[in-house]
Amino acid sequence: MTTTHHFDLLIIGSGTAGLTLALKMADQARVAVLSKSQLEEGASLYAQGGISVVLDKADSLQSHIDDTLRAGGGLCDEEVVRFTVEHARESIEWLIEQGVSFTRDDMITETYHLTQEGGHSHRRVIHSADATGRAVETTLLDKAKAHPNISLFPYHIGIDLITTRKHLATEQNSCLGCYVLDIKKDQPKTFLAPVTVLATGGAGKVYLYTSNPDVSTGDGIAMGWRAGCRIANMEFIQFHPTCLFHPKAKSFLISEALRGEGATLKLADGTRFMPAFHPQAELAPRDIVARAIDHEMKRLGQDCVYLDITHQSKEFITSHFPTIYKRCLKFGVDMAKEPIPVVPAAHYTCGGIMTDMRGRTDIDGLYAIGETAHTGLHGANRMASNSLLECLVFADAAANDIKKRPKTSLPADIPHWDESRVHPAKEAVAISHNWDELRRFMWDYVGIVRTTQRLNRARQRLSLLQQEIDEFYSQHHISNDLLELRNLADVAELIIESALQRKESRGLHYTLDFPETSEKSAQNTIIAEKKPT
């Protein structure tokens, strides 16, 4: 018999969005938080730059709004942008109340140090040295561990959402919880709750090179799509321009804050190239910087370019960027004396499950927040350091909405997970081979610069892979690797189909076949629920 857990609120994902929501709900609800790895593991932990917020008197809310809209390439929802920016300060104040320590600019006046990143017209990124995500994540996790109403489940990965339409054959589609795999025990479980929240982050691992941790396999987006949610703007995958280029570095991210402090991008011969691509040079929006680097690497046949911050003193570098300095030094690069070799890598999923401004999806009782969701904040390109802000603001908005929901009881006839017709797999080579092939052709054909021919090639390869994955899934016991591969294949389909639908270049989607932006295409790319296989 499958183990069944009952909670008032089920949160799948233990990053900034999930933990913020858990803490804001825990005083009045029994909350379960699931993490498919260690509780702190996720993109939030590795966020370096900081959080966008207007704190400087020379700055303004309207300026933050305008910068976000400009970076978003005409697809941001202005109402959502304004809502997010206007709630930024209270989100930061809440983090400070929880105990997050941000870097001070002046200990006497107790002002916070603000840095400037790509797309911003002012210094408005509050940070904790160069490890903001770690400071936020560990602080919130400590709070969650101490709360008696929060139950934490590490090494639990969602299999599929439990919905009334699929599992009880009703016309109305409501979410009742999730089937979950306990990875350590290799045991399926049933988690039931009147409200389920997807906060599983993005899908960077669909690409061969990514700044994301291994857990970023698009699980929430894929589960939501299979359950009946609409998905928007998956063609807009942000490639971070500067990740450390080293065979053992695993695409370690080099924060945009370095460029905010004057770091310049150079070719191997020491020549700067960004001024030729954009008036803001190194502080241009990320899509422009990433494409410029990609262009120069391909033009010259070079493996990388170089980020140079040697004009700053070693004391400045080690105090402002201690994590990056130590990591680079580990790989033989002293960034105080020499430029850092960098390449672009998949970084952020701007699209996701469509939600309203309270985090609600198309399915009653199902919410999505953080990178998993498409709120309309980012449009065609996310502006730097708006991501953690989105997690905080929309976790709060979702909490306020969930608190107003009427109390409901769940049906008594919810089926357990059925493994009666499958058998153990004799070998796992099919999973590992398909995993590698998927990530490689997504990088080659659906990367920074695209063409219709490349996208169609990717679609053909994916179709064959999905047939193999579906066959393997229907015949064998599930595993963490199989679930992640299945989810990545679904996410790849969403990205490819969205990219093929957009017959223009806009924001993060650049195609050589349609290099211009078309005003007729200034709308979201929306894909309805996944057709049953």
Strand partners, 192: 6, 177
Of 397, 386, 456, nearest in space to 20 by CA: 397
134, 259, 286, 461: which one is catalytic? 286
Tell me if residue 286 is catalytic.
yes
> Token digits for 531?
């057709």
Sign (positive/negative) of CA torsion 91, 92, 94, 98?
positive
| Residue 420 pLDDT > 90 | no
Contact 252, 327 (CB under 8 A): yes
Residues whose CB falls within 8 Å of the CB of residue 484, separated by 6 or more in sequence, listed in order: 157, 205, 217, 219, 435
pLDDT of res. 416: 86
Task: Encode pLDDT of 41-67 as tens digits.
Answer: 887 877 777 999 999 999 999 999 999
- What is the C-alpha separation between 131 and 51, in angstroms, rounded? 11
- What is the C-alpha separation between 220 and 352, in angstroms, rounded? 9
| Residue 296 pLDDT > 80 | yes
pLDDT of res. 533: 57
Q: Which CATH class is domain 429-527?
A: mainly alpha
- Average predicted confidence (pLDDT) for the chain: 92
Q: Would you state the torsion angle of the CA atoms of residues 504, 509, 512, 514, taken in this order, to the nearest 10 degrees?
A: 0
pLDDT of res. 107: 62
pLDDT of res. 54: 94
pLDDT of res. 427: 67
pLDDT of res. 108: 59
Task: Encode pLDDT of 226-240 as tens digits.
Answer: 999 999 999 999 998
- What is the C-alpha separation between 356 and 374, in angstroms, rounded? 9
pLDDT of res. 532: 67
Alpha helices (runs of H) in 190-229, residue ranges in sequence order: 219-227
Burial bucket for residue 133 (CB in 10 Å: 0-12, 13-18, 19+): buried
- What is the C-alpha separation between 112 and 94, in angstroms, rounded? 15
Residue ranges per domain, the chain? Answer: 240-345, 429-527
- What is the C-alpha separation between 492 and 439, in angstroms, rounded? 9
| Residue 219 pLDDT > 70 | yes
- What architecture is domain 240-345? Alpha-Beta Complex (3.90)
Number of residues in the chain: 533
Of 482, 489, 16, nearest in space to 222 by CA: 489
pLDDT of res. 328: 95
> Token digits for 311?
């004009």
> Token digits for 267?
């070719």
Q: How confident is the model at residue 465 (pLDDT cuts 50, 70, 90)?
A: very high
| Residue 166 pLDDT > 70 | yes
pLDDT of res. 152: 97
Contact 487, 222 (CB under 8 A): yes
Query: For the chain, what is the radius of gyration of the CA atoms?
Result: 22
- What is the C-alpha separation between 180 and 184, in angstroms, rounded? 12
Strand order in the sheet with 237-244: 237-244, 340-349, 305-308, 264-266
Task: Determine how many CB atoms are found less than 10 A away from the CB of residue 303.
Answer: 10
